[in-house]
């Protein structure tokens, strides 16, 4: 009997790199039969003979064979290199699939590609899902955060598998339906942007502890241990403690031997670009990307450090108080960063007509991924209380938290500025907070300047919607810029 007549696999996965392999093993451990396939088919045999030995995993050496082994509707996950490889596999798959079958892209695809693929496959009666997968190798193996979005008809068919293999936070799966077309990959992109921000904030705290208070690595690690028992309780604080404690073979902290040039793969940059595209002030993620750019100018900075001199004062305040101030500055800045991230999600939802479940997104990030933290539970609560919450900063809980941190936040920055320690993300967070809570900003002057030199017109506070041009010099004439376009 041919294998086509005995479909046995619940789902197929294409792409046997480390994430793909671990995700297959995770699904197999949860009782699903998975069909494994890879462009280089030797990897299928190797995988079956080693890691997948004795597990409910079957292999295929062609797309045709793989599809033949699948129960209907067929579910195929792609975990291949983002870009052309995804399109190539979709092209190969389509002739073998039937109406209602599902293709899931679990790679790090750009959300615009996912939008395009959704549309193209929709025209062919196939259901396409773009899913963020976060948590690295360990997450993929034992519980990732999964952010699926796309053709909503696919969700009931993938939900039992996805929610079973996802990480759990307070008993709930860190996976839910995100929204239409590219929503899953957009949310994953914002997740990565927030991760950039969180990491930079921790680096700024470390910089202050090290260069203002001149603490040893053990002392700093102890501080991070304490911080991890507070509102900052999170994976990134935990690993920072371990990194600070890690000694090289000579007994010295390894972290100090690492070249201070941060790498990046681009997802933080994409978040900042969409923030600019949609006009949302996601300043903290933007600064975190630029901080990495500045760090990578190592040679240039070394040269500049010989000639550009800053203040050479020393800290003579209350050291214990300053440590607590830094913690609060970090916490308040983090609240601002997440508020900005959710502002971007809200704007994208409006642009693309997505019906995003913000509380669900917070829960998806609550466990399994790099930004997992107790704090995301508070965000979930805020959105559960008010699904239409306009801004996280306006939620009663977060409003109270920022208010409790505010004095410490300002003292930290004042000290950093006095002593010349760069704190781009702490600073931009406070600048945003102060801007956001200001009813009257100086942008009236910008409007006047634009009208002065370019006749761009302005609105009066007293008559919004009515655009006026003033002949500021008495020389330029009374024609406004919009008149030129008419």
User: Which residues are known catalytic residues?
Assistant: 188, 195
Q: Please report whether residue 203 would count as binding ligand 2AM according to CB under 6 A.
A: no
Contact 164, 339 (CB under 8 A): no
CB of 18 to ligand 2AM, least distance (A): 9
CB of 394 to ligand 2AM, least distance (A): 43
Q: Please report whether residue 213 would count as binding ligand 2AM according to CB under 6 A.
A: no
Q: Please report whether residue 48 would count as binding ligand 2AM according to CB under 6 A.
A: no
Q: Among 80, 201, 272, 455, which residue sits at the site for ligand 2AM (rule: CB under 6 A)?
A: 80
Complex with ligand 2AM: residue 81 or 168, whichever CB lies closer: 81
Q: Among 7, 51, 65, 85, which residue sits at the site for ligand 2AM (rule: CB under 6 A)?
A: 85
Q: Please report whether residue 45 would count as binding ligand 2AM according to CB under 6 A.
A: no
Q: Among 22, 27, 28, 43, which residue sits at the site for ligand 2AM (rule: CB under 6 A)?
A: 43
Distance CA 184, CA 111 (A): 8
Q: Please report whether residue 55 would count as binding ligand 2AM according to CB under 6 A.
A: no
Distance CA 199, CA 362 (A): 18
Complex with ligand 2AM: residue 21 or 480, whichever CB lies closer: 21
Q: Please report whether residue 450 would count as binding ligand 2AM according to CB under 6 A.
A: no
Q: Please report whether residue 280 would count as binding ligand 2AM according to CB under 6 A.
A: no
Q: Please report whether residue 82 would count as binding ligand 2AM according to CB under 6 A.
A: no
Complex with ligand 2AM: residue 33 or 38, whichever CB lies closer: 38
Q: Please report whether residue 240 would count as binding ligand 2AM according to CB under 6 A.
A: no
Q: How many residues are there in the chain?
A: 486
CB of 16 to ligand 2AM, least distance (A): 5
CB of 55 to ligand 2AM, least distance (A): 19
Q: Please report whether residue 431 would count as binding ligand 2AM according to CB under 6 A.
A: no
Q: Please report whether residue 103 would count as binding ligand 2AM according to CB under 6 A.
A: no
CB of 41 to ligand 2AM, least distance (A): 8
- Among the listed ranges 78-86, 162-170, 174-182, 308-316, the one in contact with ligand 2AM (CB under 6 A) is 78-86
Q: Please report whether residue 91 would count as binding ligand 2AM according to CB under 6 A.
A: no
Edge-first strand order for the sheet with 75-78 is 57-59, 34-37, 11-14, 75-78, 102-105, 127-134, 145-150
Q: Please report whether residue 38 would count as binding ligand 2AM according to CB under 6 A.
A: yes
Q: Please report whether residue 294 would count as binding ligand 2AM according to CB under 6 A.
A: no
Q: Please report whether residue 115 would count as binding ligand 2AM according to CB under 6 A.
A: no
CB of 238 to ligand 2AM, least distance (A): 29
CB of 85 to ligand 2AM, least distance (A): 3
CB of 38 to ligand 2AM, least distance (A): 5
For the chain, how long is the longest CA-to-CA vector? Answer: 92
SS3 track for the chain: CCHHHCCCECEEEECCCHHHHHHHHHHHHCCCCEEEECCCCHHHHHHHHCCCCCCCEEECCCHHHHHHCECCCCEEEECCCCCHHHHHHHHHHHHHCCCCCEEEECCCCCHHHHHHHHHHHHCCCCEEEEEEEECHHHHHHHCCEEEEEECHHHHHHHHHHHHHHCCEECCEECECCCECCCHHHHHHHHHHHHHHHHHHHHHHHHHHHHHCCCCCHHHHHHHHHHHCCCCCCEHHHHHHHHHHHCECCCCCEHHHHCCCCCCCCCHHHHHHHHHHHHCCCCHHHHHHHHHHHHHCCHHHHHHHHHHCCCCCCCCCCCHHHHHHHHHHHHHHHHHHHHHHHHHHHHHHHHHHCCCCCHHHHHHHHHCCCCCCECHHHHHHHHHHHCCCCCCHHHCHHHHHHHHHHHHHHHHHHHHHHHHCCCCHHHHHHHHHHHHHCCCCCCHHHHHHHHHHHHCCCEEECCEEEEEECCCCCCCCCCCCHHHHHC
Q: Please report whether residue 40 would count as binding ligand 2AM according to CB under 6 A.
A: yes
Q: Please report whether residue 92 would count as binding ligand 2AM according to CB under 6 A.
A: no
Enumerate residues 13-32 that contact ligand 2AM by CB under 6 A.
Answer: 15-17
Complex with ligand 2AM: residue 84 or 353, whichever CB lies closer: 84
Q: Please report whether residue 39 would count as binding ligand 2AM according to CB under 6 A.
A: yes
Complex with ligand 2AM: residue 82 or 254, whichever CB lies closer: 82
Residues that bind ligand 2AM in the complex, under the rule CB under 6 A: 15-17, 38-40, 43, 80-81, 84-85, 88
């Amino acid at each position: 009997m041919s294998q086509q007549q005995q479909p046995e696999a619940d789902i197929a996965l294409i792409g046997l790199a480390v994430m793909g392999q671990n995700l297959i093993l995770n699904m197999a451990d949860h009782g699903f039969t998975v069909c494994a396939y890879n462009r280089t088919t030797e990897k299928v045999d190797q995988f079956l003979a080693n890691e997948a030995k004795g597990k409910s995993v079957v292999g295929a050496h062609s797309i045709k064979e793989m599809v033949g082994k699948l129960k209907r509707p067929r579910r195929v996950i792609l975990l291949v290199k983002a870009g052309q490889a995804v399109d190539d596999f979709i092209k190969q798959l389509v002739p073998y699939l039937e109406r209602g079958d599902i293709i899931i892209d679990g790679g790090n695809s750009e959300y615009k590609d996912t939008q395009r693929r959704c549309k193209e496959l929709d025209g062919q009666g196939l259901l396409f899902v773009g899913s963020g997968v976060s948590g690295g190798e360990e997450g993929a193996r034992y519980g990732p955060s999964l952010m699926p979005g796309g053709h909503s008809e696919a969700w009931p068919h993938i939900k039992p598998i996805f929610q079973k293999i996802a990480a759990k936070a307070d008993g709930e799966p860190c996976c839910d339906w995100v929204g239409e077309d590219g929503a899953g990959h957009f949310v994953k992109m914002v997740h990565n942007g927030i991760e950039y921000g969180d990491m930079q904030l921790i680096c700024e705290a470390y910089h202050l502890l090290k260069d203002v208070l001149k603490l040893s690595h053990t002392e700093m690690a102890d501080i991070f241990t304490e911080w991890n028992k507070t509102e900052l309780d999170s994976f990134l604080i935990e690993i920072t403690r371990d990194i600070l404690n890690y000694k090289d073979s000579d007994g010295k902290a390894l972290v100090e031997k690492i070249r201070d040039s941060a790498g990046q793969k681009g997802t933080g940059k994409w978040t900042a670009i969409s923030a600019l595209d949609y006009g949302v002030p996601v300043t903290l993620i933007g600064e975190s990307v630029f901080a990495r750019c500045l760090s990578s100018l190592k040679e240039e900075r070394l040269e500049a450090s010989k000639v550009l001199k800053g203040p050479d004062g020393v800290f003579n305040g209350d050291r214990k108080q300053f440590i607590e101030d830094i913690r609060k500055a970090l916490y308040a800045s983090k609240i601002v960063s997440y508020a900005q991230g959710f502002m971007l999600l809200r704007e994208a939802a409006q642009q693309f007509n997505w019906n995003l479940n913000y509380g669900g997104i917070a829960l998806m990030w609550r466990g399994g991924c790099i930004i997992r933290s107790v704090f995301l539970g508070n965000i979930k609560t805020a959105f559960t209380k008010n699904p239409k919450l306009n801004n996280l900063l306006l939620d009663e809980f977060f409003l109270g938290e920022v208010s409790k941190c505010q004095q410490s936040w300002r003292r930290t920055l004042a000290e950093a500025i006095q002593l010349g320690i760069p704190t781009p993300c702490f600073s931009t967070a406070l600048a945003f907070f102060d801007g956001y809570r200001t009813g009257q900003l100086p942008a009236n002057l910008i409007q006047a300047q634009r009208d002065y030199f370019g006749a761009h017109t302005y609105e009066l506070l007293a008559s919004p919607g009515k655009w006026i041009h003033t002949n500021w010099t008495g020389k330029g004439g009374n024609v406004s810029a919009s008149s030129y376009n008419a």
